[in-house]
Amino acid sequence: MAVVAKRSSMTYYSDGSDHYSHRVRIVLAEKGVTADIIEIDPINLPEDVKQINPYGNLPVLLDRDLGLYETHVMMEYLDERFPHPPLLPVYPVARAESRQFMYRIENDWCPLVKTMGSGKNKEAAAQAAKELKDGLVTIAPIFAEKPFFMSEEFSLVDCCLAPILWRLDAFGITIPRTRQTAALLEYTERLFARDSFRESLSEAELEMRPSYYIKS
């Protein structure tokens, strides 16, 4: 899969089923950056990828002689190198708030996704699914305030949250349709309808919701 528009010499080594890899693919698509997106088995990394990333995991972004292996660094690098459309606010206070929202997602929800995705402990996975569902339902009303996550514009925060929301079905999580959750469900539909989100999806991710784009 390759995202088309502005010319670039980038190679993106991605795990097609991983939400961390997915978030950067959304940024690439949103920016219209041309990149060679190479899907790799995370268990059998090529030697050249291991040489770039001392931690031996995915994703990895290679831009000429620059190798990046942390997704927040990748996303902000892409946002600075390709400034249009901007995916972080201009003003320092708003930028700091966005970074803090991403930090909260990283610490509150990403560990739950990891537990559910590991398949090692069904009881722990069920508890993680409950915690994620409860967390989303609790904050659901905030999505009524602005079209995106605490913002008038689509941002890097949304790039972090969208891959998690896309995987809810695969984890057996259904957000109930109530007055409290209506704004969250509308926000979810708004994200999934974006051209950049559709372009970002790998084959494995399409299989997580096989009928979604057929019906929509």
For 103-154, what is each residue's pLDDT tens digit?
999 999 999 999 999 878 999 999 999 999 999 999 999 999 999 999 999 9
Using one digit for the tens of pLDDT, what is the confidence trace for 25-39?
999 999 999 999 999
pLDDT tens-digit map of 156-188 = 999 999 999 999 999 999 999 999 999 999 999
Indicate the pTM of the whole model. 0.93
Contact yes or no for 63/34 (Cβ under 8 A):
no
- Please determine, for residue 1, whether its predicted confidence score (pLDDT) is greater than 80: no
CATH 1.20.20.10 fits 92-194, yes or no: no
Distance CA 95, CA 91 (A): 6
Cis preceding-peptide flag for 83 (omega within 30 of 0): no
Q: What pLDDT was estimated at residue 8?
A: 53
Residue ranges per domain, the chain?
2-81, 92-194
2-81: CATH, from 3.90.1150.180, 3.40.30.10, 3.30.479.30, 3.40.50.620? 3.40.30.10
Residue 5 has pLDDT above 90, yes or no: no
